[in-house]
Amino acid sequence: MPPVTRPEAAAAAARLRSWVVSSESVAETVASVIADVLARGDAAVLTFEARFGHGVRRLRVSPEELAASVAELDPAVRAAIELARDNVAAVARAGLTGDAAVVLGQGQRVVSREIPVGRAGVYAPGGQAPYPSSVVMGVACARAAGVREVVVCASHPVMLAAAALCGADEAFRMGGAQAIAALAYGTESVREVDVIVGPGSLYAQEAKRQVFGQVGIDGFAGPSDLLVIASADADPRLIASDLAAQAEHGEGTVVALLTDSQQLADATQELVRASAMGSAADRGSKDAPQYLAPVVTVDLETALSVSEHFAPEHLSLQGAAAEALAPLVTRAGCLFVGAMGAVAFGDYVAGSNHVLPTGGAARFASGLNVRHFLRRMSEVHVDGAAAAVLAPHGAALARAEGFEAHATSMEARTIGPAP
């Protein structure tokens, strides 16, 4: 085969990628395993372990077993694990500040580089109403990350204007699952992207889930939600206005007040009932949000515990005692502190991003930010002196895993060239 030229590079890469076994070949089996574990819990896991694993009788490993495993470890392997642990941790800590270089104890230098993706797709919902704010959230963030090409899915003139003002390179009149598929795989007129971000309909979000792996995604943005934790001195009028504002997102939206004051709960509920949100719920409108009756807790710490378990997309703290809880909040897509901080400011002009984790995903996911458009790559420099120190440890660990060629490859760096 003749040498590959630069115009043929993409096709050559595609040929190499085609040799990889597709995950689709095991999709049905994996789905059945997941369904069984959801239905039967430990019993299902033990059944599959007996079939595919080692036939264990108890899943959890006791602290005594963990301690015994260390005591029984080969000293050379233990030393290798501890060295690997310390080196990986040191590089990881250095990487917290962006691009960083660290010289480790054995002499090797590891450079952590953050590199923006080459091309990003921003999806903004536009089926029932235009959302130029979602265009802003996606494009401005991608540009700040240094993405070379940013494309937008939008049709409405105000959304197209937002795309132009924020510096998008291309815009395509498409939406729904078909738009996500086009961005992920490309068509005659749409070149594929590396990352797709942005909220949208359930169809668009499910499409993002299904194309993940072909491209990166920011997450699954489902129905919206807002929890307000308020102390007795909070203003029920402002709380009710925040609940009503979030409820405008329509069907499936969950909004609720958590408070230790029955008086505040009653006053807020009365205002909610009198609002358009309450009227829609009373009429049984299909677009009505799910407004939960105020949850009165014995104290605000309990209210915070409820919120931490719920992991809301938006959390608002109102009233002096409630606002004091801010440092203790760990599970929220975005936290608003103080009565003047209307959650709606975050949707538009506060500067925070309104593309946030929903459905409890704030337990593990972040709102849209520059890191969704960046990938981290390590650049490793090992000289002869460092290789001589590292090789025995690396070889011991490789042989413990059964990889003799890995061990030999490292040890070869400590032997002079053949005569």
Beta bridge partners of 335: 315
Cβ contacts of 228 within 8 Å, gap of 6 or more? 239, 242, 243, 256, 257, 258, 315, 316, 317, 318
Cβ contacts of 340 within 8 Å, gap of 6 or more? none
Give the three-state DSSP class for 378: strand
Q: How many residues does this entry show for the chain?
A: 419
Q: Cβ–Cβ contacts within 10 Å for residue 312, how many? A: 29
**Which amino acid, 55?**
G
Beta strands in 32-118 (DSSP E): 100-103, 109-116
Full DSSP string of 218-283: -----S-EEEEEE-TTS-HHHHHHHHHHHHTT-TT-EEEEEES-HHHHHHHHHHHHHSHHHHHHHH
Cβ proximity of 365 and 219 under 8 Å: yes
Tokens representing 85 are 């642990």
Cβ contacts of 367 within 8 Å, gap of 6 or more? 333, 334, 352, 353, 354, 355, 356, 357
Separation of alpha carbons 413 and 388, rounded Å: 7
Catalytic residue among 28, 170, 314, 406: 314
**Which amino acid, 176?**
G
Catalytic residue among 249, 313, 323, 393: 313
Cβ proximity of 117 and 374 under 8 Å: yes
H or E segment to which residue 7 belongs: none
Pairing between β-strand 149-153 and β-strand 225-230 as defined by DSSP bridges:
unpaired
Q: Which of 354, 312, 304, 360 is nearest to 328 (CA)?
A: 304
Phi, psi for residue 93 in degrees, rounded to 5: -65, -40
Is residue 114 annotated as a catalytic residue, yes or no?
no
Is residue 401 annotated as a catalytic residue, yes or no?
no
Largest CA distance in the chain: 91
Which residues form the catalytic set? 313-314
